[in-house]
Amino acid sequence: MEAPELLRVWVLAAAALGGSWATLPDHRVLPDHRVSSETGAIFVHELERELFQEAFLTGHEDDGAAAPITFQAHLRDHPNLPRWLRYVQRDPHQPGYLYGCPTAAEVGTHTIEVLAYNRHTYGTVAQRLVITIIPAPDGEPPYQGEFLVGNRDVEELLPADAREIFLQATATVWERDDLHVVNVTSALDRGGRVPLPIKGHKEGVYVKVGSRGAFSPCLASAASPQSRFRCSLGQQPLASCYDTFAPRFAIRWCNLTLLQVSPSPTAPGPVWGSGVLEEDGDFQPPTEVPPRDLLPGYLVTLLVPLAVAALLCLLLGHLMCCRREGVQKRNLQTSDIQLVHHTSIHGDTEELRRMAGSRDVPRPLSTLPMFNVRTGQRINPMPTPRDGARVPLLPQ
């Protein structure tokens, strides 16, 4: 692993473990940046390179303006971004973008920690981005249409100017003026394939647009079942507004999706105050949790395993002790010939054991040496004062 990558890993590990920014070498901290966004609308924040380059040039008067900068962003006290927020940066010489569409579940304040890393000087600059999500006053738009732009990457439609141009082209098709971008999603996040490294091949972008008015006849015909059938045959759908986006945006009309969202009643949320008590105001802490009786749960946790263990012990004891056949039952079920054979073998074995345990018993005649093949000497097989088993067969 290269030195810049090692430093990057070390910096991220220190930040994830909650270390102080001041303990990092060659590190500066920018003031917090506060932004707000409404639910049901696209949120885009550009990480401007110029802002961080000025911080890098403060400590090093070199070519920091041309140095590549890599951004890292995560939710405070968490390793990743929140689920509604995404980050993209195509190249270290291009700006980064934080974008996403917050929903009603994300209402509140989200603190994002951004770390800029200079790949030439190994310096870092940190900034906290405080995002305040507020509910949309009119709620979510009831009519939403999602277009697939095949000749664009996601970062090309995130700037405000590009989104405004796309809305102008969409207004001509939709025949409405109250359009706004709800969300922008890369086709790669929807399961699309990475394009070939050829000039002009883009990954594709899904752009969701919302409005208070109904869909135009052109959009309705493009998303009709007849158009879907023509798309399945490889033909163009039934619509008369194909070229309204051309040549800037190449719309894949077979991937057009029209949604009609029904408004859902929402409970009134909490009133966000300043966080400062009024004069002569008393702080009312939350009420204490009522005491709970934990004895039934404790008894269930303790007695149930003991009862199961006792049943298993009784079953095992019954199988091992109460279901034994016994010697008498076994003998009754065995034939007499097998019993006599077993008894004779047992008696012979006991006799051999007694003979082996006693040294006074003379050796069997069959084990005594009687004839030497080489010398022709014969030995009396009867026992003599000198043990014949110890007489060598071969002359010394």
Give the span between the Cα atoms of 69 and 90, in whole angstroms.
11
Q: Which residues pair with 134 in a beta bridge?
A: 38
Q: pLDDT tens-digit profile of 357-372?
A: 765 656 655 565 555 5
CATH fold for the domain made of 1-137: Immunoglobulin-like (2.60.40)
Please report, for the chain, the start and end positions of each structural domain, with discontinuous segments joined by +: 1-137, 141-262
Enter the pTM of the model. 0.59
CB neighbours of residue 207 within 10 Å: 24
With vertex at residue 38, the alpha carbon angle to CA 32 and CA 39, rounded to the nearest 5 degrees, is 125
Phi, psi at 258, each rounded to 5°: -115, 125
Separation between Cα atoms, residue 107 and residue 38, nearest integer Å: 9
Length of the chain counted residue by residue = 396
Which distant-in-sequence residues (6+ apart) come within 8 Å of 21 by Cβ?
Answer: 15, 27, 29, 126
pLDDT of 59 over the 90 cut: no
Classify residue 88 as exposed, middle or buried by CB count within 10 Å of its CB (0-12, 13-18, 19+).
middle
Q: What is the DSSP string of 97-135?
A: EEEE---GGG-EEEEEEEEEEETTT--EEEEEEEEEEE-
Q: What is the pLDDT of residues 281-316, one digit of tens each?
A: 676 777 777 888 888 999 999 999 999 999 999 999
DSSP-assigned beta bridge partners for residue 69? 118
pLDDT per residue as tens digits for the range 202-248: 889 999 999 988 888 888 888 888 888 988 888 888 776 666 787 88
